Chain A
Amino acid sequence: MSISTVRPGHSTERRGPLWSAASAPIQARLVAIITCYGALAIAPCLLAPLVGSTHISLARAFDRSIPFADNVDAQIFFVARMPRVLTGAVVGSTLAAAGVVMQALLRNPLATPFTLGVSAGAALGAILVITFSTVVSVGALSPVPLASLAGALLASAIVYALATRPGRTMSTMVLLLAGVTLNSFFSALILFVQYMADFTQTYRTVRWLMGDLDVGGFGTIVASLPLVFVSFAIFAVLPRSLNLLSVGADTASTRGVDVGRTQPLAFLSASLATSAAVSLAGPIGFVGIVVPHLVRLMVGVDHRLVLPASALFGAAFLVGCDLVARTVLAPVEVPVGVVTAMLGGPFFLWLLVRRS
């Protein structure tokens, strides 16, 4: 009996992305993607500090002949805008990459970095400090990002402990259920704390929940970098295993992936990255789902391409959103979380409709 190669009614049309696995080697696509998306990430980071409600001169900002205390342009560039742009780049990159990892780990394209309760844990930590703490600073840092980091790590630890059993691989179903339940539980605690708070504290809480890149200096960014570096170092070894995990844990195992090691690594790295991002800028929603999906439309679904492209595009996306937030109603600034949610909400619905 001969084996037919193409079923009737099925054309052999090429698929969506610009390059296909059959037509171009992965090396060429990876180089092209990192070059293009790297340029895309750098451009808004260079442009954004120059744009705002107050016009500044780049030449004057870098003019060393003017004392810094007298150089308003330099102060706006280096103190007000540059830390904000760098925060946007770090947070956008981190959330987008964590979104890619979570979606592959949970085998669910609609998962986000916040699906497993990390943001709710961070929010609870931040809100407890805003409402009850009298501590103004811890070393050179504000206690709010430290508390939100502690909350995020605590939430991750609880979900991890619930989803793992000695000698068994991680259950992604339990992971998802534990995360969603923890999200609800922490949200209830947040409401309770808000009920106990006064108006000023409630306003600060709501403002934190909207997300904000105005970290007020380089100290907080630098403090978050070790976590970000560790996360990205783990991300670097994951992509091919993520491809196989997204096909199925058993398939991944029989193709040579150590599932018992890779699943916890993916969860821990994504949780660390998300914790760092949320402690820096609050829970900025939708970056972790919009960016990976936009990237997949352009480069395909291979995680060796999607992960670096999303990390770079995420930086460009959030810096761009923040530019809109700073300028659209200037001199009033819209919280960047509002902008990402206004873009992300309709996009999420479009994704749901497209998938159905």
Chain B
Amino acid sequence: MLRAEAVSFAYGAGTAFSLTDATVAITPGSLTGLLGPNGCGKTTLLKLLCGVLRPQSGRVMLGERPLASMARRELARHVAVVPQETHPAFEYSVMEMVLMGRHPHLGSFQLEGPADFEIARQSLEATGTAPLADRNYMTLSGGEKQRVVIASALAQATELLLLDEPTASLDLGYQLEVATLLARLNHERKVTMVLATHDLNLAASLCDRLVVMRGGRVLAQGTTRDVLTGAMVRQLYDVDADVQFHQRAGHLTVVPVSRIPGPVSYHTAPPS
């Protein structure tokens, strides 16, 4: 449903490409993890997939339509994004934050009606944040804020949800809360998700497909079981790790053992 076809992107004229010749296919209903070390191009790829950035070469297709041919408002009716952190400049209430997700569905001078409020209320309930509706967003805990931002993205009523390290700044308890929520939304609401993360165990527990990147290139993509191997972790992070199926957890787990000695540069593709 969403495809990047040989896309390349550089942040400034004359600078090196942050992403080179990346081809990625997101299938409907999947929960795809984007893995790779710092600076490998995960966030750049996410921004290209949601149309915030335009590729210098290649194209991103939503179904049969190039993203470049779609207006921002139309695109936002199909793809929503949850950033790592959200810091509004003013003290919006939780309900106001969630209602902002209705923006692409409203005309220029249109105000939210009962149907929009109902969708916002359902989004709050789906994320367990309904009792916070009147609270000031700024006063919430990290986990609550992230769930509210996910509720706002849900209120956008899109079939695709892109998440950029949504649990990066959360403690273990909140990480589990958000992970459980995402799994439930993917399973129950059939929302297709792309999740960029550094947390290999989170990806292993949530994602049915993985795309792994290094040095701005896609190294591999496929099912989690096929892609997440000790050899791949070594190739990605220069780390020796045990990757095993955990019976109680019901998914693969990654235990890092040691760093492989030698100079490390994540900004280049690993030696073949």
Q: Is the CB of B141 within 8 A of A247?
A: no
Among A4, A21, A256, A257, the residue within 8 A (CB) of B95 is A21
Candidate in B100, B139, B176 with the most chain A CB atoms within 10 angstroms? B100
Known: A254-B76, A254-B80. A109 touches B90 (CB 8 A): yes
Identity of the chain B residue whose Cβ is nearest the Cβ of A104 in the assembled complex: B89
Interface size on A, residues (CB 8 A): 47
Among A5, A6, A13, A257, the residue within 8 A (CB) of B103 is A257
A240 to B107, CA, bound (A): 10
Chain A to chain B: the 4 pairs with minimum beta-carbon distance, closest first: A256-B104, A256-B76, A301-B90, A254-B81
Q: Is the CB of B111 within 8 A of A26?
A: yes
Q: Does A22 contact B (CB under 8 A)?
A: yes
Among A3, A6, A296, A304, the residue within 8 A (CB) of B181 is A3
Nearest CB on A from B136, distance (A): 5
Q: Does A253 contact B (CB under 8 A)?
A: yes
Q: Is the CB of B88 within 8 A of A10?
A: no
* 0 or 1 for each of A1-38: is its CB under 8 Å from B? (1 = yes): 10111110010111100001111011100100000000
Q: Is the CB of A25 within 8 A of B89?
A: no
Task: List residues of chain B with CB under 8 Å of any chain A CB.
Answer: 47, 50-52, 71-77, 79-81, 83, 86-93, 95-97, 99-101, 103-104, 106, 108-109, 111-114, 117, 127-136, 139-141, 143-144, 147, 152, 156, 176-177, 180-181
Identity of the chain A residue whose Cβ is nearest the Cβ of B50 in the assembled complex: A254
Q: Is the CB of A301 within 8 A of B92?
A: yes
Q: Is the CB of A3 within 8 A of B180?
A: yes
Q: Is the CB of B72 within 8 A of A257?
A: yes
Q: Does A248 contact B (CB under 8 A)?
A: yes
A109 to B138, CA, bound (A): 15
Beyond the given pairs A15-B91, A25-B113, 8 more chain A to chain B contacts, judged by CB atoms under 8 angstroms and listed by A's residue number, are A3-B180, A7-B140, A7-B143, A10-B139, A25-B114, A109-B90, A248-B86, A300-B96
Known: A15-B91, A237-B109. A254 touches B52 (CB 8 A): yes
Nearest CB on B from A307, distance (A): 13
Task: List residues of chain A with CB under 8 Å of any chain B CB.
Answer: 1, 3-7, 10, 12-15, 20-23, 25-27, 30, 103-104, 107-109, 236-237, 240-241, 243-244, 246-248, 250-251, 253-259, 296, 300-302, 304
Nearest CB on B from A351, distance (A): 13
Nearest CB on A from B23, distance (A): 23
Nearest CB on B from A291, distance (A): 15
Q: Is the CB of B100 within 8 A of A237?
A: no
Q: Is the CB of A255 within 8 A of B132?
A: no
Q: Is the CB of B132 within 8 A of A15?
A: no
Identity of the chain A residue whose Cβ is nearest the Cβ of B149 in the assembled complex: A251
Q: Is the CB of B104 within 8 A of A255?
A: yes
Q: Is the CB of A26 within 8 A of B93?
A: no
A240 to B103, CA, bound (A): 8
